[in-house]
Amino acid sequence: MLFDIHMPILKCNSKTHILKMPIQLINSFASWVLKQRIHQIELFLKYPNEVQDELLMDLIQSAKNTELGKEYDYPSIRSYAAFAERVPISTYEEFQPLIERTRNGEQNIFWETPIKWFAKSSGTTNAKSKFIPVSPEALEDCHYKGSKDLLCMYLNNNENSELFTGKSLRLGGSSQIHEDNNSFFGDLSAILIENMPIWAEFSSTPSNRISLMSEWETKIAAIINDTKKENVTSFAGVPSWMLVLMNKMLEETGKGNLLEIWPNLEVYFHGGVNFEPYREQYQKILPKKDFKYYEIYNASEGFFAIQDLNNSNDLLLMLDYGIFYEFIPMDTFDTPDQKVVRLADVEIFKNYAIVITTNSGLWRYLIGDTIRFTSLSPYRIRVTGRTKHHINVFGEELMVENTDLAIAKACKMTHAEVVDYTVAPVFMIDREKGAHEWMIEFKQTPKCIHTFQNILDDTLKNLNSDYEAKRHNNTTLNPLVINVARKNLFYDWLKDRDKLGGQHKIPRLSNQRDYLEQLKNMQVKILC
């Protein structure tokens, strides 16, 4: 999950023109332009299902003359029921042959307008790269629109904001754009930067040249040098990697907190991983009561949801970005009884796998994320994990949302701080019961690991009734096991796989022990 926050696309003649405008006037003008979008947002809030139905028909109409449109006879599709019956749900692996043909120069296969850009996404840490098509429509009407809407909602909720009196510090991926057969690929953030108007760099830091650096450690040093003297009013990036950058910034400058470097900081726009395990660490380096945190949910495949209220953990599902949504209840996922429902039929607090149809030509595409709805009017969600990143070896249905919340509570109660973690099953052997084995790297280790372990276990029981049932009297699961990782273990693991920076994230949960065993081997090698 990557994103870039930038100046809204305003109708101005030149970068020079903007530079001559008084800072306060820029702030007022940009705020006014962005707020005009509120009225359009109100439309899909009032008529969500109608907006989605109309959008689906528009997508089908746009693609009726494509190869895929002819195969499934799009011109004859007049309803969602016909669409769902005729077009199969697909994964990347199933869709890949069509993407590869497009990358090799063929067009009009799954989308009508030529697709020249592909967002390179590694998915899980050990997976082969995916190349997600990014159409001109997706760039303008989804990704850029989402960035502008994020700012729109923030400004609408914070009337006294002076966001545009300074710059946004952005931390994206670590890949430059590469050309192959007259098509281009790279991190989503790199594609966004490459396609922005030339003057948009005015509102962001570091420079585009530094933002697109490939080598992570060189890039961090350059970002620090380029941004420490700027007037930064906001920053944007994945919490885990942004925390690395901010701690390095404090080390380099000798300051106690970020406000000593950038006194006008007012908001952090974040996404990519759950923020809760990192919240207290950010509050320490940002000791300002009214400092705001705004979350987004996006990916290479599209921009999906935005926090629309101050001090909220819920994200408003955006319904007019050229994305049609369907959902698979996780209790039926990948079973013979698998069900698919559209937005109008979802239930509150139930876990769903997301299926999307997009204006980049992804048709009924399974992106691999899971969410639950916290509100149906309007439709608000929370990201709960990945379809492949959960543990259900013993029927416990443990989700990333559970473990993130549990570790956050354990940290708070023991005054610990966590850098990263991963969890894997301990399989039953002979008559021995199963368990969950954790590898946790602490920035601040708890005084008593046993106390931390008990709080973690008890919180998981409170959050997840299936886990509680399996742990009751150690019926199926023994108490969880914690390995305390050496310093920089996860960083070294990612570096060893050339996965430093930006979009790369530690797989939190797995039904297999591969990741955990690799980490344990690296831990032993160093310690010995």
CA separation for the pair 329, 350 (Å, rounded) = 7
Say what the alpha-carbon torsion angle 172, 296, 390, 324 is, to the nearest 10 degrees. -110
Continuous segment of H or E residues that includes residue 316:
strand 315-317
pLDDT at site 251: 95
pLDDT at site 11: 38
Tens of each residue's pLDDT in the chain, 528 residues: 344 444 444 433 444 444 445 566 656 666 666 667 888 888 899 999 999 999 999 999 999 999 999 999 999 999 999 999 999 999 999 999 999 999 999 999 999 999 999 998 765 444 568 999 999 999 999 999 998 899 989 988 998 999 989 999 998 766 667 787 778 888 888 888 888 766 566 788 998 888 888 788 899 999 999 999 999 999 999 898 899 999 999 999 999 999 999 999 999 999 988 899 899 999 999 999 999 999 999 999 999 999 999 999 999 999 999 999 999 999 899 889 999 999 999 999 999 999 999 999 999 999 999 999 999 999 999 999 888 888 888 888 898 999 999 999 999 999 999 999 999 999 987 778 899 999 999 999 999 999 999 999 999 999 998 899 899 998 889 999 999 999 999 999 998 887 776 667 788 999 889 999 999 999 975 443
- The second-level CATH assignment, the architecture, of 400-527 is 2-Layer Sandwich (3.30)
Hey, which residues does 297 pair with through a beta bridge? 305
Task: Kindly give, in sequence order, each residue whose CB lies less than 8 Å from that of residue 353, ignoring residues fewer than 6 positions away.
Answer: 327, 328, 330, 333, 366, 368, 369, 370, 387
Tell which residue, 398, 394, 4, has the closest CA to residue 171.
4
- Alpha helical stretches, state H, 90-195: 92-103, 136-138, 144-157, 188-195
Domain residues of the chain, as ranges?
A: 15-43+136-323, 400-527
Helices then strands, counting H and E runs in the chain, come out as: 19, 19
Helix axis angle for 239-253 and 216-227, nearest 10°, is 60
For residues 191 and 149, is the Cβ–Cβ distance under 8 A?
Answer: no
Place of tokens 């629309």: 308
CA separation for the pair 194, 328 (Å, rounded) = 35
- Burial label for 335, CB within 10 Å (0-12, 13-18, 19+), is exposed
Whole-model pTM? 0.85
Neighbours of 187 (CB within 10 A): 25
Which tokens in the block code for residue 505? 């994230």
Cβ-count burial 450-481 (b if 16+ within 10 Å, e if not): eebbebbbebbbebbeebbebbeeeebbeebe
Tell which residue, 308, 312, 357, has the closest CA to residue 152.
308
Amino acid identity, residue 164?
A: F
CA separation for the pair 404, 460 (Å, rounded) = 10
CA separation for the pair 522, 403 (Å, rounded) = 24
Amino acid identity, residue 381?
A: I
